[in-house]
């Protein structure tokens, strides 16, 4: 069944038709208005109440359709998660940094929701996975200790914000406990010290040669400060890994992993939740104490933050993270290949076409009920596939066919 999906216009999104989100949405909704000055940040595919998808042929909410025919989810999904779709599938177009954030584990999410339901609006955890569509910049996890020590030595303004006591403790013993003390001291630093330290570093960058400036991440720091002037989160780049995922590369964010997306387009899949604990690089509510106390403070390399996919065959790569809520297939069919069948799964799945089109789609077994199945799909098409169904695609010649599929492997 083809779906119509919700678009989120958050301020950090890419504006107008430069946004992949806008391009994909408008490709299948020609009447969608896309103003040049309007940000298009996220495309949501699923049943989350903040942006539910609807069945295109009938206008029925996908969640309602599933509740009336829960068997479409597949028995393993129902046994594990009940009669609901356990994942939320997204496309993101990021033009400026999203907040420094982490997601609570299941027990912590339930506790936060119980204590502050107005802030933490659902009790579910939110593990998530990102797969780059374009070169995608992000901060993720804490740097190896030697890199942090180097920055504490060379970025005097960072030392001012953290304070000598915490810096010296970490220098003498670069433990996770002492890193937590440094991060906490930075995030809770007095506003006047933050302001003067940011100003001092900007001034020093203006006088610094390009080689040294690049070593100290000058361009990134200046870009963040232009978007979030006066924000102590600008200094987080010296404690956190700064990485660029190339198209097809992925990272998995389990609970309590600090991260911030910076720039680019990506596919994202997560548990069906919107639980975020923020602190820095955001005008939204910041819960510094909760974030500091929940984080994992392991100091690891950039490469260890990347998540490898597994080649199922020549055309499908499976990204299967260590959670039951979701996995993602990347399906890449080269120009000239006449036919390809997506394997049937024991769970329902959602397929998004990112490039190319298929003029003929065979479904086996055919859908039951009154909703017709899609027979033609193109860039921007989103399909809900019932558990146990396989799709045979016959791509049109002229370009490669690229699609992503969210599913559960239980």
- φ and ψ of 330, to 5 deg: -105, 120
Between 163 and 122, whose confidence is greater? 163
Q: Residue 367: is its pLDDT beyond 70?
A: no
Q: Residue 162: is its pLDDT beyond 80?
A: yes
Q: For residue 162, what is the enclosing H or E element?
A: helix 156-162
| pLDDT band, residue 196 (cuts 50/70/90) | very high
Long-range contacts of 71-74 (CB under 8 A, 24+ apart): 71/387, 72/348, 72/384, 72/386, 72/387, 73/347, 73/348, 73/387, 74/345, 74/346, 74/347, 74/348, 74/387, 74/388, 74/408
Q: List, by residue number, the catalytic residues.
A: 278
Work out the average pLDDT over 67-87. 96
What is the percent of the chain where pLDDT is above 90? 87
Q: What is the pLDDT of residues 90-148, one digit of tens each?
A: 999 999 999 999 999 989 999 999 999 988 988 888 899 999 999 999 999 999 999 99
Query: Residue 186: what pLDDT?
Result: 98
Kindly report the number of other CB atoms within 10 A of residue 223's CB atom.
17
Work out the average pLDDT over 214-243. 96
Euclidean distance between the first and final Cα of the chain, in Å? 23
Question: Distance (Å, rounded) from C-alpha 279 to C-alpha 288?
Answer: 5
Query: Residue 274: what pLDDT?
Result: 79
Work out the average pLDDT over 178-201. 97
Query: Residue 362: what pLDDT?
Result: 82
Number of H-type helices and E-type strands within the chain: 12, 24
| pLDDT band, residue 275 (cuts 50/70/90) | confident
Tell me the average pLDDT of the chain.
Answer: 94
Work out the average pLDDT over 336-340. 91
Q: What is the pLDDT of residues 10-47, one digit of tens each?
A: 999 999 999 999 999 999 999 999 999 999 999 999 99
Q: For residue 44, what is the enclosing H or E element?
A: strand 42-45
| pLDDT band, residue 387 (cuts 50/70/90) | very high
Q: Residue 154: is its pLDDT beyond 70?
A: yes
Q: What is the pLDDT of residues 244-254, one digit of tens each?
A: 999 999 999 99
Query: Edge-to-edge strands of the sheet including 349-355?
Result: 310-311, 316-319, 327-333, 401-407, 349-355, 382-385
Given a contact cutoff of 8 angstroms between Cβ atoms, the answer to whether 189 and 279 are in contact is no
Structural domains of the chain ordered from first start: 3-140+244-280 (2.60.120.10), 144-237 (1.10.441.10), 310-407 (2.60.120.10)
Q: Residue 369: is its pLDDT beyond 80?
A: no
Work out the average pLDDT over 201-210. 94
Which residues, including other chains, have CB under 8 Å from residue 45's CB and lie 6 or more apart? 3, 5, 53, 88, 89, 90, 350, 352, 382, 406
Q: Residue 374: is its pLDDT beyond 90?
A: no
Query: Residue 361: what pLDDT?
Result: 84
Kindly report the number of other CB atoms within 10 A of residue 349's CB atom.
26
Kindly report the number of other CB atoms within 10 A of residue 154's CB atom.
13
Least confident window among 37-51, 91-105, 220-234, 273-287 = 273-287
For the whole model, what pTM was predicted? 0.94
Q: How far is CA 125 from CA 214, 243, 272, 328, in A?
A: 37, 25, 8, 18
Q: Angle at Cα 44 formed by Cα 42 and Cα 49, nearest 5°?
A: 120
């Amino acid at each position: 069944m083809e779906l119509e999906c919700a678009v989120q216009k958050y301020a950090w999104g890419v504006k107008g038709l430069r946004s992949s989100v806008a391009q994909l949405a408008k490709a299948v909704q020609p009447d969608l208005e896309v103003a040049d000055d309007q940000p298009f940040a996220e495309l949501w595919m699923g049943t989350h109440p903040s942006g539910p998808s609807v069945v295109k042929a009938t206008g029925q909410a996908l969640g309602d359709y599933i509740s009336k025919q829960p068997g479409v989810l597949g028995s393993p999904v129902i046994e594990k998660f009940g009669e609901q779709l356990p994942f939320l599938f997204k496309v993101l177009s990021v033009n400026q940094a999203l907040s420094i954030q982490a997601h609570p584990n299941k027990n912590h999410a339930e506790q936060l929701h119980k204590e502050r339901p107005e802030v933490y609006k659902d009790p579910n955890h939110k593990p998530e996975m990102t797969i780059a569509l374009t070169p995608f910049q992000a901060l993720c996890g804490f740097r190896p200790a030697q890199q942090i020590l180097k920055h504490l030595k060379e970025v005097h303004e960072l030392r001012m914000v953290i304070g000598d006591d915490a810096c010296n403790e970490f220098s003498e013993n670069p433990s996770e406990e002492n890193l937590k003390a440094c991060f906490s001291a930075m995030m809770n630093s007095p506003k006047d010290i933050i302001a003067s330290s940011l100003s001092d570093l900007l001034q020093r960058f203006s006088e610094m040669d390009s080689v040294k400036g690049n070593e100290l991440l000058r361009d990134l720091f200046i870009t963040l400060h232009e978007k979030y002037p006066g924000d102590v989160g600008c200094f987080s780049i010296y404690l956190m890994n700064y990485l660029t995922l190339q198209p097809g590369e992925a990272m998995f964010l389990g609970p309590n992993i600090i991260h911030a997306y910076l720039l680019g387009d990506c596919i994202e899949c997560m548990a069906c939740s919107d639980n975020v604990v923020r602190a820095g690089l955001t005008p939204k509510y910041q819960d510094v104490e909760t974030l500091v106390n929940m984080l994992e403070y392991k100091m690891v390399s950039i490469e260890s933050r990347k998540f490898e996919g597994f080649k199922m065959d020549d055309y499908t790569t499976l990204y299967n993270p260590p959670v039951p809520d979701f996995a993602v297939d990347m399906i890449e069919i080269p120009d000239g290949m006449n036919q390809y069948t997506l394997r049937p799964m024991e769970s329902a799945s959602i397929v998004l076409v990112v490039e190319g089109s298929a003029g003929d789609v065979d479904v086996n077994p055919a859908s039951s009920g009154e909703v017709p199945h899609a027979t033609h799909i193109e860039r921007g098409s989103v399909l809900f596939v019932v558990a146990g169904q396989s799709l045979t695609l016959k791509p049109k010649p002229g370009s490669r066919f690229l699609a992503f599929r969210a599913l559960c492997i239980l």
